[in-house]
Amino acid sequence: MSATFASSASARAYRAESAASSKFSDKSRRINSNRVVRARHAPSTSTEGDLMDTTSMPAIYSAPDGSKESEVLSKLRRVIDPDFGEDIVNCGFVKALVIDESAGSVLFAIELTTPACPVKAEFERQAKAFVEELDWVKRVSVTMTAQPARNDAPETVEGLRRVSHIIAVSSCKGGVGKSTTSVNLAYTLAMMGAKVGILDADVYGPSLPTMISPDVPVLEMDKETGTIKPVEYEGVKVVSFGFAGQGSAIMRGPMVSGLINQLLTTTDWGELDYLIIDMPPGTGDVQLTLCQVVPITAAVVVTTPQKLAFIDVEKGVRMFAKLAVPCVSVVENMSYFEVDGVKHKPFGEGSGAKICEQYGVPNLLQMPIVPDLSACGDTGRPLVLRDPTCETSSRYQEVAATVVREVAKLNNGKKPRVDIDPGYDGAFRVEIPGENNDKAFWITAKNVRLSDESARVKGSDESPDRLLNGAPIPDDIAPVEMSVIGNYAMSITWPDGLSQVAAFSTLAKLERLPARAS
């Protein structure tokens, strides 16, 4: 039995908010570090691959010297993962190697971290070509599979238990194209082979009912289980208050937070590789509730070139940093338009680049001003579906690729580490992959504090070499709290109340203390 999801949502919103916050907020950070892994097949042209299950198979790292298996692995070590900087054998991607020497056939599986891996086809092509170089090989069969991580969520969040990664798309400023980015990113990931869902978290002005055109544009609730059945459009599951039959909401903040929490946690999302949350503008109750109640994997920040947009978006980046949510990409909409090969920038330039530079966000994608993009949003069919080969759609493919790569590195790559070394006068002991030959180096806490450029960027009169109360920064200043944010920065709270986001690229440039004797 099912019923239309409408007035019951508002009535239970406040109760859902208070109950969910108390149950989930203490556990939300533990969920990311305690995952259950399941493997499933990515699309494959291999007949054998359709029948192969690599879930419980061990990765193959080596074989006896002189064996045929060793020769094959030697060839596969030439296939390098561009994100991890390691070959696919050392990454543990190679499984189920079977050789029939008499027939000259080689079969193996490459198990990737996500079915939407942007270099999946290239891995398959290279692996097959390199193995075919062996004189005795007559046939090579490669099975491409994927092993996305699973959130081991509590029983009370049943709808999210099979959601691998939650990606927040945020701007903190309205009108910069955040919903356009969310929708086109979601459908691009789906076209790359991932299972995707979208939550429209803006109940005051939901955009999804205008931007997509599902056959049944109404959310339904199962009377027996109380779960919400999402709307589906072109293979993507969608939940928006605009599909609840009430248009936009008129209610106070706590009720809004509870309503969004209900939409997110009681929806039966099923198995998803990526759940895209189209965040509402601002840094208030709704944003804090979402970040604290569920384990958001990463955030994509949307801005425009103006300085005014930068000031607002910067608040969002700091909010995510405070909540230990890594920002993996900045999308700068309305960056330029092109006439006769000449780029014109009517809204100026620099907002997106400043965010990346100051906060160490690793990717900047600049989107052009094109009439088709907004026209597609108004007619209910996203541009990446209507014209998947156009230049703008290719830009969204780049956005999706950065999300996939950065999430894979967050889950599987070597992590930066920063500690206070009490035996070295409270200096910061820093380890950054790829920096200083992967060895630790030491920097003073004072120099870290002096490296904060937020005041300079905002044009503030605050002096970077002074505390917020105007006193000089002491030589022995020490942080009150600090945490690593993904692979790109760390969040530091200082005794005077300043909250600093220090990019690892900035820390790597600071003057270093002599290496401490081990």
At 19 the pLDDT is 40
Does 247 score more than 60 pLDDT?
Answer: no
- Of 26-35, 131-140, 310-319, 386-395, the one with minimum mean pLDDT is 26-35
Distances (CA, A) of 129 to 69, 140, 517: 16, 9, 48
Task: Look at domain 39-146 and name its CATH class.
Answer: alpha beta
Does 78 score more than 50 pLDDT?
Answer: yes
Inter-residue contact 393 to 406 (CB < 8 Å): no
Strand partners, 236: 233
Domain 2-36+151-412 part of CATH 3.30.470.10: no
Cα 222 to Cα 220: distance, rounded to the nearest angstrom: 7
Name the band, by pLDDT with cuts 50, 70 and 90, for residue 24: very low
Does 139 score more than 90 pLDDT?
Answer: yes
Does 418 score more than 50 pLDDT?
Answer: yes
Q: Of 300 and 81, which is predicted with more confidence? A: 300
Please state which CATH number belongs to domain 417-507. Answer: 3.30.2020.30
Distances (CA, A) of 221 to 1, 2, 243, 262, 277: 9, 5, 12, 12, 20
Name the band, by pLDDT with cuts 50, 70 and 90, for residue 227: confident
Does 356 score more than 80 pLDDT?
Answer: yes
Name the band, by pLDDT with cuts 50, 70 and 90, for residue 325: confident
Q: For the residues 153-162, what does the mean pLDDT come to?
A: 63
At 127 the pLDDT is 94
| Backbone conformation region of residue 209, classed left if phi is above 0, alpha if psi is from -120 to 50, else beta | alpha
How far apart, in Å, do the first and last CA atoms of the chain sit? Answer: 67
Q: Which helix (H) or strand (E) holds 342?
A: strand 342-344
Does 117 score more than 90 pLDDT?
Answer: no
Cα 21 to Cα 300: distance, rounded to the nearest angstrom: 24
Here the tokens at position 236 are: 């993507």
Q: Which helix (H) or strand (E) holds 516?
A: none
Distances (CA, A) of 387 to 107, 184, 234, 383, 394: 37, 11, 14, 6, 10
Cα 432 to Cα 164: distance, rounded to the nearest angstrom: 26
* Closest by Cα among 408, 432, 400 to 502: 432
Does 132 score more than 90 pLDDT?
Answer: yes
At 358 the pLDDT is 82
- Of 36-50, 281-295, 499-513, the one with minimum mean pLDDT is 36-50
Does 22 score more than 50 pLDDT?
Answer: no
At 32 the pLDDT is 35
**SS3 labels along 462-514:** CCCCECCCCCECCCCCCCCEEEEECCCEEEEECCCCCEEEEEHHHHCCCCCEC
Strand partners, 485: 489
At 160 the pLDDT is 83
DSSP state of 443: E
Domain boundaries, the chain: 2-36+151-412, 39-146, 417-507
At 9 the pLDDT is 46
Cα 371 to Cα 336: distance, rounded to the nearest angstrom: 12
Contacts of 125 (CB under 8 A, 6+ apart): none
At 505 the pLDDT is 86
Cα 86 to Cα 69: distance, rounded to the nearest angstrom: 20
Name the band, by pLDDT with cuts 50, 70 and 90, for residue 284: low
Q: What is the dihedral of CA 187, 188, 190, 196, to 10 degrees?
A: -60
Name the band, by pLDDT with cuts 50, 70 and 90, for residue 483: confident
Inter-residue contact 156 to 16 (CB < 8 Å): no
Helix (H, G, I), strand (E, B) or coil at 233: strand
Does this model's pTM top 0.85? My answer is: no
